[in-house]
């Protein structure tokens, strides 16, 4: 059976990627990261999602927190949603670059054919490492920096959500039976999502535009 490493955060997008990989017949090797985020709720839910899908193995990688983001630095507050534009303070420097690098090493170890990551060029919150240009650059690195690449069979970087809006992502996940009730998107990480941070607002808007009820609880609905 072909194998896939999935970057699994416990959020809506990465869980949709799990559902897509499962539907495409991959044996699942999700990988999650403790990168110094202010809460561990997403990691607990990632484990639950991995169990739901009977993953072959679920790795949680412990990383050093370098700060510089509202998600990892206690001195920077998580802001409420804003349409001001620009890169928000919730951007974590080099996060997807580091995550994909770990995932690539893991993929070589387990003999995976593909790595799934839930980035979107339509709804990416201003993060530079969620754009197609970044993914294309990493694919080039895979070709020149791995044994599989040098042998002409590079590990595929799969981005099933890259051209999808949040509403389209929700519809896809629901169609594939993704367990959204086990997911969290809130940057504050409490049992009830705040409903006002960027991630909550974008998620809620996606469910509303899809005409589907979000199965998780919120403190406040925008």
| Domain CATH for 9 | 3.40.50.620
The reply to whether 173 falls in a domain is no
**How do residues 35-63 score in pLDDT, each as one tens digit?**
767 678 899 999 999 999 999 999 999 86
Tens digits of per-residue pLDDT, 105-156?
999 999 999 999 999 887 655 678 888 999 999 999 999 999 888 898 899 9
C-alpha pair distances (Å), 30 with each of 7, 41, 49, 106, 204? 6, 17, 9, 10, 25
Q: Annotated binding site: which residue ranges?
A: 8-18, 186, 194, 197, 200
Per-residue pLDDT of 94-108, as tens digits, reads 688 889 999 999 999
User: Residues with Cβ < 8 Å from 36, sequence gap 6 or more?
Assistant: 63, 64, 65, 66, 67, 72
Residue pair 42/71 in contact by the 8 Å Cβ criterion: no
The answer to whether position 170 is within a domain reads no
Range of the domain at 87: 3-165
pTM: 0.90
- In contact, 198 and 82? CB cutoff 8 Å: yes
Distance CA 149, CA 8 (A): 24
Which residues participate in the annotated binding site for Zn(2+)? 186, 194, 197, 200
Q: Tell whether 218 is covered by a domain.
A: no
Per the annotation, binding residues for ATP are: 8-18
Residue 42 placed within a domain: yes
3-state secondary structure of 171: helix
Count of domains in the chain? 1
Per the domain annotation, does 96 fall within a domain?
Answer: yes
- Which pLDDT value is given to residue 131? 87
Residue environment code for 98-121, b if the CB has 16+ CB neighbours within 10 A, otherwise e: bbbebbbebbbeeebbbbbbbbbb
Residue 73: pLDDT above 90?
no
Does residue 33 belong to any structural domain of this protein?
yes
Order across the sheet with 156-158: list the strands: 59-62, 27-34, 3-7, 114-116, 156-158
Question: Within a domain: residue 9?
Answer: yes
Inside any domain, residue 46:
yes
């Amino acid at each position: 059976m072909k194998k896939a490493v999935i970057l699994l955060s416990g959020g809506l997008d990465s869980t949709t990627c799990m559902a897509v990989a499962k539907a495409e017949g991959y044996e699942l090797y999700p990988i999650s990261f403790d990168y110094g985020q202010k809460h561990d709720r997403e990691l607990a839910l990632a484990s639950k999602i991995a169990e739901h899908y009977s993953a072959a193995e679920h790795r949680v990688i412990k990383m050093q927190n370098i700060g510089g983001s509202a998600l990892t630095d206690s001195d920077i507050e998580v802001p409420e949603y804003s349409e001001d534009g620009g890169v928000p303070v919730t951007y974590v420097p080099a996060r997807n670059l580091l995550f994909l690098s770990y995932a690539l090493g893991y993929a070589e170890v387990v003999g995976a054919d593909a790595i799934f990551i839930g980035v979107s060029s339509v709804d990416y919150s201003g993060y530079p490492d969620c754009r197609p240009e970044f993914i294309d650059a990493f694919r080039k690195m895979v070709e020149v920096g791995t044994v599989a690449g040098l042998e002409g069979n590079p590990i595929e970087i799969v981005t099933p959500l890259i051209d999808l809006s949040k509403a389209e992502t929700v519809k896809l996940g629901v169609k594939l039976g993704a367990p959204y009730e086990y997911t969290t998107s809130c940057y504050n990480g409490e049992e009830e999502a705040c409903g006002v941070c960027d991630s909550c607002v974008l998620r809620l808007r996606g469910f509303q535009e899809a005409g589907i009820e979000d199965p998780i609880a919120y403190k406040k609905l925008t």
